[in-house]
Amino acid sequence: MKVIRARSAGFCFGVKNAVNTAYKMADERDPSERLIMLGELTHNDKVTKDLLQKGFEIINDAKDVPDGCKVIIRAHGVTPEQKSILNSKENVTVYDCTCPFVEKIHKIVKDQTGEGNSIILTGTEGHPEVEGIRGECPDKVTVISNPEDLEKTDIDPEKTVVISQTTYSMDSFAKVCAKLEKKIAKEKIFDTICNTTISRQRETMSISEQVDVMLVIGSSHSSNTMKLYEVAEGRCCRTFLVGDAEDVRRLIGEGKINKDDTVGVTAGASTPEAIILEVVQAMDENEKEILADQEQTDINFAEYVDNIPQLRRNSVVKGAITKYDQDYVYVDINDKSEGKIPLREFDGDTDYNLDEAVANKQEVTVIIKSIKNTDQGKEIVLSKSAVDFEKHKQALQEAYESKTPVTAVITSAVKDGVIAKYGGIDIYIHKTQIKMGEVKDLNALKGEKIEVLITKFDTEKNRLRVSGSHRQILIQERKAKEEEVWANIEEGKHYKGIVRSLPAFGAFVDIGGVDGLVHNSEISWKRVSKPSDFFTIGQEIDVYVKSFDRDTKKISLGYKKEEDDPFYNIEERIPVGAIVKGTVVRISDFGAFVQLEPDLDALCHVSQISNVRLKSPSDVLTVGQEVTAKVTKIQAADRKISISIKEVEPIDPQEDDLYAVTDAADEQPASSEENTDSAEE
């Protein structure tokens, strides 16, 4: 029988720390002291029974905790109210073993509700961790157990924040995020699923797809155990939840596990190593001998809690960050001597804020580079980057296979592109794949974060080559926006658009994934000779749809506004009969054009200037001269206004010029309104 055991199975850091602390309390206990667990320390009956035998009592409410005792708070944490009650007790020593990841969620809820936000918490209703988190602000926290619950939940896009129970299903959380993608900003979604939970679920997925039988060790009361069971059951039809080796013996006896089966084994965060070993040994080829020995010996959980593989070079271990200096970060790896990691390995790693990591004893996975015995003790040199490389390599491979974008930081420019770093791994991005247009200065991009789609993941010849593209993401986004535009477009609809190009005949404007044309005639009420006189590339402008054709994918846009038309509401602003003042701007043989307002000219026919018949308006008028006139006719549709100067203040020639003007006028035929219109045209 082949057995594949998950490396991440068993106690997580938080539970292990709590159980370690409990056994230490029991070992140091004065016979007269009362030891209290505020709720069961872990969802494991055997561990709980063992601690009860060592003198612990279980009390579920801080109000019932007696004075003068020692109390341990489990990794799930409790409500602020419960902590406050404990602190008010006399001579009560509190050992707070709340998991750092859980404490982080408490802080998020406290800060966000303090800013007036409501919280959606994905998790199991009634679970101790969930109830503790909800206790930060019960009126503002809504618990949902699955993505479908969102349909019944009120969501304010500006005032809703999403967080998760540390042991929630990462698949379900991804579905929740997908449903909220267009409702809530990314910065409002906090992925607070514990890293250990994510690793354990991913490992369970992988193993359960390879085996004939999958065993999930743990309690049905454990949230993280049941999530593992759900993950495995969806991939392996023979998945069983077992509590201990006795359950495995029963399954073997019932023929549900056969000697030729490949069996996968994983365990929830509340399952001690002792029980995992029991289960694995129960399937050993020498099963009867091993089981016979075990039946005669009780399991000592305290020994198994501290039981870790012997430290050796190149082994991978986990530890808690305890302190750091200018050269190293120090890690407790359950050895008499702490290990140290070069400080430079944390440069640019956003997963670790060292001050917070020390305060929370944040867990880190490392590889042992060397172990030396010195006069001062054991010197253990660790490396995080070697582990990170494998972790990030796997993440990039998954991103490549699932076509999921990743965020990297551009660190350098090369001849034909840039290099971006993702957890120490180089991603090459060709200059044509950085954006939609041309990138002129690659060096200017250094230090920028960029979202990329992994387009190449090559491990041939034992050398990793990774390429990515930001342009493909933009193309996908543009395509989605384009579909949305065509689904909702209608004549008269207004958009905020971006000017993309300025050919001689108009401006192409992006209205959200689709380009429309603002023709020169739609740019301004003035004559447009060059669109670049009005717009610049990249400028944001307000436009509206004049017409569109779905078949040819063409959209005509308007920009100029009706109210900006000099002839807008003209008959109300300047009615016939109104006395107006203006400036002569142009003179022709048949009359003078007078500017009444900017871009609004009126024609005063030569016959309407003077009481004397003039050879030309220039006999009495000059460009720039101010005149007073009466509005005699308005043709708004033809964009024409006629005025008369002589009906208000006729301008006659000087007496010296009168005869010359009259003689010249006699030689011309009489003018008429029809002649005026013809001349204008």
CA–CA distances in Å: residue 625 to residues 595, 619, 622: 11, 13, 6
- Architecture of the domain made up of 390-467: Beta Barrel (2.40)
Q: What is the CATH number of domain 100-193?
A: 3.40.1010.20
**Confidence at residue 658, expressed as pLDDT on a 0 to 100 scale:** 52
Q: What is the CATH number of domain 572-680?
A: 2.40.50.140
Q: Please name the residue that has the structure tokens 């060059």.
A: 530
Terminus-to-terminus CA distance in the chain, angstroms?
101
For residue 409, is pLDDT > 70? yes
- Label the pairing between strands 328-332 and 339-342: antiparallel
| Nearest-angstrom CA–CA distance, 675 and 673 | 5
For residue 660, is pLDDT > 80? no
Average pLDDT over residues 416-445: 88
Highest mean pLDDT among 154-168, 328-342, 619-633: 619-633
Q: What is the largest CA-CA distance in the chain?
A: 143
pLDDT tens by residue, 72-108: 999 899 999 999 999 888 888 999 999 888 898 999 9
Listed by start position, the domains of the chain span 100-193, 316-383, 390-467, 489-560, 572-680
For residue 663, is pLDDT > 60? no
Task: Count how many Cα atoms sit within 13 Å of the Cα of residue 619 in the half-sphere of its side chain.
Answer: 29
For residue 288, is pLDDT > 60? no
pTM recorded for the entire structure:
0.41
- Tokens linked to 142: 């809504």
**Confidence at residue 462, expressed as pLDDT on a 0 to 100 scale:** 67
Which range has the worst mean pLDDT, 204-213, 307-316, 396-405, 612-621?
A: 307-316
| Nearest-angstrom CA–CA distance, 507 and 274 | 74
| Nearest-angstrom CA–CA distance, 43 and 222 | 6
* Fold classified for 489-560: OB fold (Dihydrolipoamide Acetyltransferase, E2P) (2.40.50)
Q: Which residues form the catalytic set?
A: 129
- Tokens linked to 169: 């299903």
| Nearest-angstrom CA–CA distance, 96 and 45 | 22
* 656 vs 165, residue with greater confidence: 165
- Tokens linked to 11: 């106690």
* 332 vs 390, residue with greater confidence: 332
Average pLDDT over residues 18-22: 88
* Fold classified for 316-383: OB fold (Dihydrolipoamide Acetyltransferase, E2P) (2.40.50)
pLDDT tens by residue, 634-657: 988 888 999 999 999 899 887 655
| Nearest-angstrom CA–CA distance, 222 and 164 | 16
Please tell me if the domain spanning 100-193 has the same topology as the one spanning 390-467.
no
